[in-house]
Structure 1
């Protein structure tokens, strides 16, 4: 792990971390966006994955847990016939009481201080309660994008594409609502099925640049972002601008 000091790999331990990972706070909003987008929540623990090492370290700084790294091959979300190999970082957050063997007699500890997953804003039953993060919609959406979104340059049209892909239709419907309620005008498509059996929607190409720019605006000040994803956005925007040049 490189420790060289660059603008994109600031030590995540220096980020502002809330005392309660369920409180309304930019860091908790970013964390739970990631969990909803690429995580799994059960009574005994939380697992969330990301392809960006620094983002994984930030998530660990926010909520604790153990990080593991592996190289995986998986189907491309929009086309199951295409596979890609990439680094994957998995953050595992266990039940403190269960791991210590002390049980839940007082009902006050356990997973992130809650006795079961029902006390969390995201649980294994597909329930999403993001009301506590209503003042931090940008960080919540950034976590969702990095958890289950894609950014690309569309060479045929010379535009930037931003889309969200997930197996859970309800989560994508909620994400669409969050986007339409953000301060940047961003029209969204209806949900469509992917070839792998999930769902996806995109942001209108004309609105994608402004939305993406707003989403990552000032993110370096908080450290709540994946550098690789921001670089992908910046490259896509540059390619789109060059495409328009005479």
Structure 2
């Protein structure tokens, strides 16, 4: 698979998007998955954070806004005694940037209900892109050297968002059981996809993603490398 920069040679990034940012569409599903996983919505602004520059450019192509880049050091969600330093790209979308997206009376016009919970019904036909956005927004991928397996987990402060994510995974065409929600040391929650189901689930999640450009190349590379490590570990195909 190619991971070429979508803005190489000075070409503007072109992503097919609907005129209504709340309409059911692969691009909007991916965008709102990211917003739910690593974003913040207020009456006059949306901010979404990603560690992948190309994914940040995709989100900006979908919804407009301004991108800022900085290097941050943060605690690891599962163990606050461990820190990591990484690039962080923040997309800020305000009224002046995307009136069509935020030119509404309140966040109730966005895909959130009165309690701030995301309403994903409009994206039911694009569950793969929605889940991909959620994984890239609040998910982790790792190779488990102790067992020779790959782990996929989702971590967030919002328990109801993770419960909704579990439902999306249960409804996807891949049989991918998930564990129970558990508390993290940072005060949030997490759950993991069953290790045996990760190869099929992860492959399905990124299948044909280059056709739309709706993916983070660094995250896909991490998944592919982890699956290759697991395959080499036990000598079986994943």
Match of 2:6 among 7, 10, 16: 10
Secondary structure of the corresponding residue to residue 102 of structure 2: coil
Q: How does 1:27-38 map to 2 (within 5 A)?
A: 27-38=27-38
The gaps in structure 2 that reach 5 residues or longer are: none
Match of 2:143 among 147, 153, 175: 153
Matched, 1:87 2:61: no
Q: Which residue of 2 aligns with 1:216?
A: 206
In structure 1, how many angstroms separate the alpha carbons of the residues matched to 2:219 and 2:187? Answer: 25
Is the contact made by 2:21 and 2:101 (CA closer than 8 Å) also made in structure 1? no
Secondary structure of the corresponding residue to residue 13 of structure 2: helix
Secondary structure of the corresponding residue to residue 112 of structure 2: coil
Aligned pairs, how many?
Answer: 231
Q: Which residue of 2 aligns with 1:244?
A: 234
Is the contact made by 1:41 and 1:124 (CA closer than 8 Å) also made in structure 2? no
**Any idea what the Cα deviations from partners look like across 1:23-78, whole Å, max 9, x if unmatched?**
10000000000000000000010000000000000000000000000000000000
Matched, 1:116 2:106: yes
Is the contact made by 2:25 and 2:126 (CA closer than 8 Å) also made in structure 1? yes
Give the superposition deviation at 1:124.
Answer: 8.7
Give the superposition deviation at 1:167.
Answer: 0.2
Secondary structure of the corresponding residue to residue 232 of structure 1: helix
In structure 1, how many angstroms separate the alpha carbons of the residues matched to 2:4 and 2:161? Answer: 29
Is the contact made by 1:8 and 1:220 (CA closer than 8 Å) also made in structure 2? no
Match of 2:192 among 195, 198, 202: 202
In structure 1, how many angstroms separate the alpha carbons of the residues matched to 2:150 and 2:165? Answer: 19
**Any idea what the Cα deviations from partners look like across 1:69-120, whole Å, max 9, x if unmatched?**
0000000000011110000000000023xx8xxxxxxxxx575332221111
The gaps in structure 1 that reach 5 residues or longer are: 1-5, 100-108
Matched, 1:184 2:184: no
Is the contact made by 1:43 and 1:111 (CA closer than 8 Å) also made in structure 2? no
Is the contact made by 1:42 and 1:123 (CA closer than 8 Å) also made in structure 2? no
In structure 2, how many angstroms separate the alpha carbons of the residues matched to 1:214 and 1:186? Answer: 11
**Any idea what the Cα deviations from partners look like across 1:122-157, whole Å, max 9, x if unmatched?**
379432111000000000000000000000000000
Q: How does 1:23-172 map to 2 (within 5 A)?
A: 23-96=23-96, 111-122=101-112, 125-172=115-162
1:192–1:163 CA distance, 2 compared to 1 (3 A): same
**Any idea what the Cα deviations from partners look like across 1:174-230, whole Å, max 9, x if unmatched?**
000000000000000000000010000000000011000000000011100000000
TM-score by length of 2: 0.93
